[in-house]
Chains A and B, each alone.
Chain A
Amino acid sequence: MSLVLDIALCALILGVGLATVAGHGVFRAVIFFITYGLLLAIGWARLGAYDVALAEAAISAGLTGVLLLAAHGRLRRLSAAEEAPLRRNLPAALIATGVALALGWAWFALPDPAAPDLTAALPQSGVGNPVTAVLLNFRAWDTLLEAIILLAALIGLWMLARDRAWNEPLGLQYHARAGGVMASFGRVLPPIGLIFGVYLVWAGAETTGGAFQGGTVLAAVCLVSLMAGVLPAPRIAQTAWRAALVFGPGVFLLSGVAGAIFAQGFLALPPALAKPAIVTIEAALTLSIAVTLVLLVIGPPDDGGQDA
């Protein structure tokens, strides 16, 4: 029975993926892409990877969807949203089929996994959720560098701003009609999202959740508030936003250095202090992740005009 469900789900995922690539019209492709992310999140839940399912739904479907929709709006304003219909491209089809077949072959050629058993090491990590233990303790290097990659991407994005637009508010200008749907959303959703986001971070230590999922929910809250006009649009030069960007990576880096001085090595957490350290790092990281994601999604300052 569950196999039938999985096959149906995978067929849906593939159908929506195909529509994203081959369907007619860029706008429709964006909508299919958002649907694709939500279906894939259900797939992750079917695989038992609930942390990934949350991240997929919040980041891939939600934030990437907002990003692509906003990009489509900007391109339409520059009359660059139209595209030519799909033409058959035999070499591309051959290469794509070859890659898919090679991956399919690799699946059956893979040796059985001999995964390291984490159950013995988990009590020393300070948290009960093995995914959080891997992210914030056993493989903290990856997470630290990831936080820095987010910053690097944001700096790269800001480099695309024109000089005369540097001090403008970031992103598109939104006008929410007073009493309209967006204005009501802006009042109703943020309190709920705020509680849910903070809960996800706190719960992530023991069960499903974590800094990235919680941070994404908080980023969504911030985006809704910006679009509804509840929050003023941020500017690059504002110190508070900049401080929020570097706060999380800064705390993470400091705790890593403290580990190098007082414990076994850089980013090493002594088991007795692991839980409070992880919760502190996660809280700081969540704030920075949320702010970085918001600024990445709304894009560089833009006065809307075309280059001469």
Chain B
Amino acid sequence: MSLTVFAMTGATLVGLGVYGLLARVHMLRRIMAFNLIGSGLFLFFGAAGARGAALDPIPQALIITGIVVALAASALAVGLVVALARSSGTACLPDEAGDT
């Protein structure tokens, strides 16, 4: 039962992240939303891996790999956002700056 609670939390987090990624225009906000999608999926996956009689270590190992790769991707994305702000003075994409 608890596993279902965690899986539904994971699914909702993915939804929240998708909404943030689409609806927020500040790029730092989008990086966080993207991380919400990732961690929501990890939670879903981890709950799915915990359903058997014993805890399955393979999802855990893959999730740890995923967390580290998510940090690497976030660091690169943050670098790109700072470079964007440096050259354009805003942390929003040009075609969305009018929406703000």
Q: Hey, which bits of chain A sit against chain B, CB under 8 A? A: 2-3, 6-7, 10, 13-14, 17-18, 20-22, 26, 29-30, 33, 36-37, 40, 43-44, 46-49, 51-52, 55-56, 59-60, 63-64, 67-68, 71-72, 74-75, 78-81, 83-84, 86-87, 89, 91-93, 95-97, 99-101, 103-104, 107, 110, 112-113, 115-119, 130-131, 133-135, 138-139, 142-143, 146, 149-150, 153-154, 156-157, 160, 210, 212, 289, 293, 296-297, 299-300, 302, 306-307
Contacts and interface: CB of A to CB of B under 8 A. Distances in A.
B2 A46 contact: yes
Given A2-B2, A17-B13, A146 B69 contact: yes
Interface in B32-62: 32-33, 35-36, 39, 42-44, 46-52, 54-58, 60-62
Contact of B56 (A112, A115, A133, A296): A115
Contacts of A91: 22
Interface residues of B, number: 79
Given A3-B2, A13-B9, A134-B57, A47 B47 contact: yes
B32 A14 contact: no
Contacts of B93: none
Contacts of A43: 6, 9, 43
Interface of B: 1-20, 22-26, 28-29, 31-33, 35-36, 39, 42-44, 46-52, 54-58, 60-65, 67-76, 78-83, 85-87, 89-92, 99-100
A73 B48 CA distance: 39
B78 to A, nearest CB: 4
Contacts of B33: 20-21
